[in-house]
């Protein structure tokens, strides 16, 4: 069955061979790194339907972090795609989405946590790996703790809102090789958890690796 959704798909001219950053993040692992102003950063969903929980920070001021609510209010729309300007809590532009071959990404579904897994699925999930564990582990390297974790982006995840005020987790719109690319408007830190969730369809029930590519002058 196909869903009749018309999504804007925009490809990037940048070539992987020319990238200065090229790393693969295993299923359930994370990444933290710096993207210099003007640099481009791509996340490739290698196997399809893999949620990539992502946070951006002003590299010079961690309190000036990505704000999901400010971003979607200022663009007037709940979903992120090419052209979306990802804003900080102080309304500063952190990054702009410059290419998107998936078409639509969530920023209202939050990240999974061991504790919220208990709420959603029951006590048997309390000790399963979760995104918040990865955020805290990788965040600690750069001074990002629990208080600094804002509401994240879920690249490649499909969380439709409806006019009656309901919200659902739907099957992904992504597929193997789909990617999202952003360009940094200032020096930013990117903090990623490659989602290990096994209890809902956000990773197609089988978490898989993603590839990170970066283009900037060193």
Partner 1 sequence: MILSHEIPAASYWSLRLRAGRLLRLTALDGGAVCSTLIFADSDPVDRLNVPDTLKAQMSARIRPPMVLMSDRGTALCSVTGSSLDWHDCLTGHSLDAHVDAPGPSSYATDRNDWRRSARYGFLSELRKHGRGPADLHGCVNFFAKVAIGPDGTFAYEPKHATAGDWVTLRAEQDLLFVCSTAPHPMSQTWMPGAVRAEVEPGELYGPTDPSVTFRPESTRALAAAKAVLA
Instruction: Determine the Cα–Cα distance for residues 130 and 115; give it in Å rounded to an integer.
Output: 9
Shortest approach of partner 1 to residue 172 CB, angstroms?
15
Q: Which two tokens stand for residue 74?
A: 């200022």
| Residue pair 107/153 in contact by the 8 Å Cβ criterion | yes
User: Which residues are within 8 A (CB) of 209 and not within 5 positions of it... i.e. 6 or more apart?
Assistant: 24, 25, 26, 27, 46, 47, 50, 194
Q: According to CB under 8 A, which one of 28, 39, 48, 109 is a site residue for partner 1?
A: 109
Instruction: Tell which residue, 218, 25, 7, 29, has the closest CA to residue 137.
Output: 29
User: Which residues are within 8 A (CB) of 180 and not within 5 positions of it... i.e. 6 or more apart?
Assistant: 42, 43, 97, 99, 100, 101, 102, 105, 155, 156
* Closer residue to partner 1 in complex, CB, 1/123: 123
* Closer residue to partner 1 in complex, CB, 120/127: 120
72 is a contact residue toward partner 1 (CB under 8 A): yes
**Count of Cβ atoms closer than 10 Å to residue 83 Cβ:** 12
Beta bridge partners of 10: 100
120 is a contact residue toward partner 1 (CB under 8 A): yes
* Closer residue to partner 1 in complex, CB, 18/119: 119
198 is a contact residue toward partner 1 (CB under 8 A): no
Shortest approach of partner 1 to residue 19 CB, angstroms?
32
Which of these segments, 11-19, 41-49, 72-80, 187-195, binds partner 1 (CB under 8 A)?
Answer: 72-80
Interface positions, 33-62, toward partner 1 (CB under 8 A): 62
68 is a contact residue toward partner 1 (CB under 8 A): yes
Q: According to CB under 8 A, which one of 2, 15, 18, 162 is a site residue for partner 1?
A: 162
Which of these segments, 17-25, 26-34, 139-147, 210-218, binds partner 1 (CB under 8 A)?
Answer: 139-147
Instruction: Tell which residue, 4, 57, 15, has the closest CA to residue 214.
Output: 15
Q: According to CB under 8 A, which one of 33, 110, 201, 204 is a site residue for partner 1?
A: 110
140 is a contact residue toward partner 1 (CB under 8 A): no
Map tokens 């693969």 to a residue: 24
Q: According to CB under 8 A, which one of 44, 99, 102, 159 is a site residue for partner 1?
A: 159
Q: Which two tokens stand for residue 54?
A: 């992502």
Instruction: Determine the Cα–Cα distance for residues 157 and 89; give it in Å rounded to an integer.
Output: 23
Note the residues at the interface with partner 1 (CB under 8 A).
62-63, 67-70, 72-73, 76-79, 89-91, 108-111, 113, 115-120, 122, 145-151, 159-163, 165-169
């Amino acid at each position: 069955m196909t869903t009749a959704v018309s999504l804007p798909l925009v490809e990037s001219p940048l070539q992987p061979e020319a990238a200065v950053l090229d790393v693969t993040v295993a299923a359930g692992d994370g990444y933290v790194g710096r993207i210099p102003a003007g640099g481009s950063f791509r996340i490739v969903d290698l196997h399809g339907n893999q949620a990539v929980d992502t946070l951006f920070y002003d590299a010079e001021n961690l309190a000036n972090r990505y704000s999901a609510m400010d971003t979607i209010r200022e663009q007037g729309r709940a979903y992120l795609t090419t052209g979306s300007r990802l804003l900080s809590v102080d309304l500063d532009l952190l990054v702009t989405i410059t290419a998107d071959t998936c078409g639509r990404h969530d920023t209202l579904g939050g990240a999974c946590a061991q504790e919220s897994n208990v709420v959603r699925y029951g006590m048997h999930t309390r000790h399963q790996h979760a995104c918040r564990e990865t955020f805290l582990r990788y965040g600690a390297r750069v001074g990002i703790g629990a208080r600094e974790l804002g509401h994240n982006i879920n690249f490649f995840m499909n969380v439709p809102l409806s006019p009656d005020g309901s919200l659902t987790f739907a099957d992904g719109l992504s597929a193997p090789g789909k990617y999202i690319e952003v360009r940094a408007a200032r020096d930013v830190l990117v903090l990623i958890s490659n989602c290990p969730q096994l209890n809902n369809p956000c990773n197609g029930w089988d978490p898989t690796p993603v590839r990170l590519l970066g283009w900037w002058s060193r």
